[in-house]
Amino acid sequence: MIAAITFLFLVFLGRFFYIQLIWEDELHYLALDQWTREIPVNAGRGVITDRNGEILAGNRAGYGIYARANAVEDAENTAHILSGLLGEPYDALFRKLNDRTKSEIVLVRRTGKETVEEIAGREMKGVYYARNDERVYPYGSLASQVIGFTAYDRSGTTGIEAYYNSYLAGENGEILYDTDLVGVDLRGAAAAYLPATDGLNVRLTLDYRIQSVAEQTMGRVLEESAAKAARAVVLDPRDFSVLAMVNLPSYDLNAIPRDDLDTLNALSRNNLVSDIYEPGSTFKIITAAANIEEFLKGNRRALDPGRHVFSSSRTRTVDGTTIRCWSDHANGKHSGQTLAEALNNSCNPCFVDIALALGPETFYDYLSLFRFGRATGIDFSGEAIGMLLPEQALRACDFARIGFGQSIAVTPLQLACAAASAVNGGYYYAPRLVSELSSSDGSVSERIRPVPVGRTVGEEASAILRGMLEGVVRDGSGKKAYIEGYRVAGKTGTAQKYENGVIAQGKYVSSFLGFFPADVPRYLCLIIVDEPQGSYYGSTVAAPCAKEIFEGIIDIMKIPPSEEV
């Protein structure tokens, strides 16, 4: 009996302890919720700016009108007044004001300040308002897939709006009024004010001026070539800051097609980050970089980048598969090529030779260093990792094709970052879209600095490669990217498209990957034009786009001509 009494005493003591100390906050909140009504105080959402402080996503003041049915004294008269002020149907408002199943009713989500002043002047019982700003995008469709948009409740849905939502959103506050059990305000009761905490502002690495030039350029080629899509990414190779990202066709962030989800999903997708493709000849930059680095390390299998002369045959046969150069090599054309000349002429069999000479083990080591088959680490949701065949499952013919950018699929961002590393001295960084977070008073809460990921090649190999790629623009297939007085380097690409495992006749991806100044790269641009009609070569479709974007950057940044060209 003593044991039983002691046990019961301990149970009651434990319950008492639990209620008083552990459950206290929850019970206090439940009591407060039962005897008060809350008017929301919405936090101001942080703005999104470009690197120069130009606002790309801001706010327009607005107000939401709410009601508590239990506190409304004259639903019929209140509905008549509100119908006239809000322009809403009387019947709908009357039904809402009589709906006592909800503690709080949304009458309208947004209305103007004048309407709010009219409602406040009428002193209608049970009706109140709260600040509910509207998200606005001053540049409309500019960088729409990067910036993203918000839902009706102003929470981030896509893009930077979604990825940095926890910082942008802030924390809502509320005004608490004492009420009776059914929610009617108690006369003379004091209100308690819990202030909102505004969200942080997000500064992007994008430059809206470079973004504008890139979008205008890609918009022109999209229209003139009647292409399916046109895309561009501009990076700073020194730290992989993203200066521009263009995905066309696009849409206006102030007129989001929310009623057509298929269209919205297609237009709002950042294909540069989330989609993959076979890069074709622009990938030869990576193959050349791996070969040069291995030669400098003393690997006897690597081909001498300055002296090795490739076979003049326009074909290579691997496992019964014949790989051809685009040129017929008539009259000795493209015979006796060095690596620099092979890059100039974009001859596929030469890069088959390099891949086979290095072997799968060594070549795959470089693919890993350049982060193919895994994420780059950009601060953006939905990044694809590409498609890289497992080394142990490789057929020789597939491996041979990887050397010139087939049998491998990458995201445009992956390729741009890999190339940036190949030409910047071999330094790979995690690409970034945001540089800092700050409060409304301008104080910086967090600086997001470049994050080094690893090394790919050495400084010497990188310098040799830069010189060769400058030759491609000066003397080879990239001539239409040449800018008088400036040292531009790059590589063209024209890739066939596959559908259901076979080559799609007449469908190509035209591309150009370039950078300048060639000796000390500051701007790198990847151009992709998907299924252009008529001329489809990267040299004629994509290279001129890069030139136009680079010329725009030169004008914006007031970059003087190079002393040595």
The residue extents of the domains of the chain are 39-61+133-169, 63-132, 208-253+264-557
| pLDDT score of 325 | 86
One-letter amino acid of 465: L
Please indicate whether the domains covering 39-61+133-169 and 63-132 agree at the CATH topology level: yes
Query: The domain at 208-253+264-557 falls in which architecture?
Result: 3-Layer(aba) Sandwich (3.40)
> Would residue 107 be called left, alpha or beta, if left means φ above 0 and alpha means ψ between -120 and 50 degrees?
alpha
pLDDT for the residue numbered 182: 47
Of 210, 206, 183, 194, the C-alpha closest to 546 is 210
CA gap 96, 99 in Å, rounded: 5
Cβ neighbours of 263 (radius 10 Å): 13
Catalytic residue at 281? yes
Distance between CA 78 and CA 544 in Å, rounded? 65
Residue showing tokens 């239409």: 480
Could you give the C-alpha distances from 122 to 115, 118, 501, in angstroms and in order? 11, 7, 70
Nearest one of 282, 272, 265 to 231, comparing CA atoms: 272
Between helices 348-369 and 284-296, what is the axis angle to 10°?
A: 70
DSSP 45: P
Q: How many Å is the Cα radius of gyration of the chain?
A: 31
Both tokens of 48, joined, read 């999104």
Give the closest residue to 96 by CA, choosing from 68, 122, 123, 135: 68
We find that the CATH architecture of domain 63-132 is Alpha-Beta Complex (3.90)
Fold for 39-61+133-169, please state it: Penicillin-binding protein 2a (Domain 2) (3.90.1310)
Q: How many Å apart are CA 135 and CA 165, to the nearest integer?
A: 13
Q: CB under 8 Å to 128, separation ≥6 — which residues?
A: 39, 65, 66, 67
What is this structure's pTM?
0.86
Instruction: Check residue 41 and give its pLDDT.
Output: 74
CB 134 within 8 A of CB 152: no
pLDDT at 72: 81
- The amino acid present at 170, given as its one-letter code, is G
Average confidence (pLDDT) per 10 residues, the chain, 565 residues: 86 76 62 56 90 96 81 84 87 84 78 82 80 90 97 91 95 68 51 79 98 98 97 98 98 94 94 96 98 97 94 86 77 73 93 96 97 96 95 92 95 98 98 96 93 97 98 96 97 87 85 97 98 94 98 97 71
- Alpha-carbon distance 58 to 56, whole Å? 7
Catalytic residue among 144, 241, 281, 462: 281
Spatial separation of the C-alpha atoms in residues 249 and 488, rounded to whole Å = 28
Q: Among all chains, which residue has been given the structure tokens 């590393």?
A: 421
